Amino acid sequence: MLAASVRRFFRERRPGWEGTDGADVPSTREIGDRGEKIARWYLEKHGYQILETNWWAAGRWGELDIVAWRDNTLIGVEVKSYPAGEMTPAEALRSKKRSRLARLIKQYAKLKRRFDCSLRVDLVVIEWAERGKVGTIRHIESVATGDDL
C-alpha cells in the first residue's frame, strides 16, 4: 500500500520542486541523475574512490548506482532521492532490494576478481528541500545484513 502511494506521489509531482515555474521542473530521470551526481560528489569528498556508476549485471539482472572502494572494501551504493520528510531510509530500501544489491556486489567482485577484500552495501539518501535545493544527505553504511553478504 505504501509503495503504491509513493509511486502515485512521484507521478503527480516532482520532489522538492514545489513553487517553481512548471518549465523548470525536471523529469524524474533528471532528478535521479542529479541525486546520483550529488552522491558521487559526497562519497569522493569523504575519501571513497568511485570505480563505476550505473553498473549493470550481465543479463540485466540489476544495477548498482555506484561502485566504490575504500579501506580495502568494495562497496555497492544505492542512491535514493525524495522530498524531505516523505519517507524513511528503511522505507526507501526494502529487504528484497537489499538482498538484490548484496548479490550484485558479490557478482561485481567475482567479475573483477576482487577476492581479497570485504564487501558492503551502502545507502545514500538525498532529501530535496524546496525549489530543488539539496536538503540533507545521509550516508548509511552496511545496509545489507551479514546473511546477505
Q: Is residue 148 part of a domain?
A: no
Q: What range does the domain containing 6 cover?
A: 2-140
Q: Is residue 62 part of a domain?
A: yes
* Per-residue pLDDT tens digits of the chain, which is 149 residues long: 444 544 444 445 444 555 555 556 677 788 888 999 999 999 999 999 999 999 998 877 899 999 999 999 999 999 998 877 777 766 778 888 889 999 999 999 999 999 999 999 999 999 888 777 888 899 999 987 556 66
Q: What are the Cα distances from residue 46, in Å, to 24, 28, 40, 71, 109? A: 31, 27, 10, 12, 22
Q: Is residue 73 part of a domain?
A: yes
Tally of structural domains, the chain: 1
Q: Is residue 149 part of a domain?
A: no
Contacts of 54-60 with C-beta under 8 Å, sequence gap 24+, read: 55/108, 57/104, 57/107, 57/108, 58/107, 58/111
- Give me the CATH number covering residue 33: 3.40.1350.10
